[in-house]
Amino acid sequence: MENLTLRSILNNNNVLQLNTPRSLVGLISLLITLPVTRGALADLPIHSPVPGGVAVLPLAPLSSVRPVAHFGSRELLVIKSNQNWVALVGLPCEVLPGNYIVRTEDDQGEIGSVELAVFPIAPKKANQIENAESSSKQTQHAVTRQSSLIVGTVEPDDSSLFNPTIRPVARERAVFSGSVEPDFEFVPVVDSREVVPYGKLIQGKATVTHDYISYLGTPGDQVYSPAAGNVVEVIESADNGFTIHISHGGNVFSILGHLALASVHEGQPLDAGEQVGSTRKMNIGERGKLDWGLQMNGFLVNPFLLGLKPIQPKDDRAPGS
Looking at residue 315, what is its pLDDT?
A: 52
Evaluate if residue 63 carries a pLDDT over 70.
yes
Q: Which amino acid is at 11?
A: N
Confidence of residue 311 (pLDDT cuts 50, 70, 90): low
Mean pLDDT of the region 71-86: 90
Distance of CA 121 to the CA centre of its chain: 16
Looking at residue 205, what is its pLDDT?
A: 82
7-35+45-118 carries CATH number 1.20.1530.20:
no
Q: What is the topology classification, in CATH, of domain 141-316?
A: Glucose Permease (Domain IIA) (2.70.70)
Strands 229-237 and 241-249, how do they pair?
Answer: antiparallel
Give residue-wise pLDDT tens across range 220-246.
Answer: 999 999 999 999 999 999 989 999 999
Torsion of CA 130, 134, 139, 140, to 10 degrees: 40
Residues in the chain: 321
Mean pLDDT of the region 44-65: 91
- The residue extents of the domains of the chain are 7-35+45-118, 141-316
Looking at residue 42, what is its pLDDT?
A: 39
Contact 181, 79 (CB under 8 A): yes
Of the candidate ranges 92-96, 158-162, 172-176, 231-235, the one whose mean pLDDT is the lowest: 172-176
Question: At CA 289, angle to CA 42 and CA 266, rounded to 5?
Answer: 70
Spell out the residues 6+ positions from residue 214 whose beta carbon is closer than 8 angstroms to its own.
161, 163, 195, 196, 289, 290, 291
Give residue-wise pLDDT tens across range 177-222.
Answer: 455 678 788 888 998 878 888 888 888 888 888 999 999 999 999 9
Residue 214 exposed, middle or buried by CB count within 10 Å (0-12, 13-18, 19+): buried
More confident residue, 201 or 275: 275
Spell out the residues 6+ positions from residue 231 whose beta carbon is closer than 8 angstroms to its own.
244, 245, 246, 264, 265, 266, 267, 268, 270, 276
Residue 320 exposed, middle or buried by CB count within 10 Å (0-12, 13-18, 19+): exposed
Mean pLDDT of the region 58-71: 93
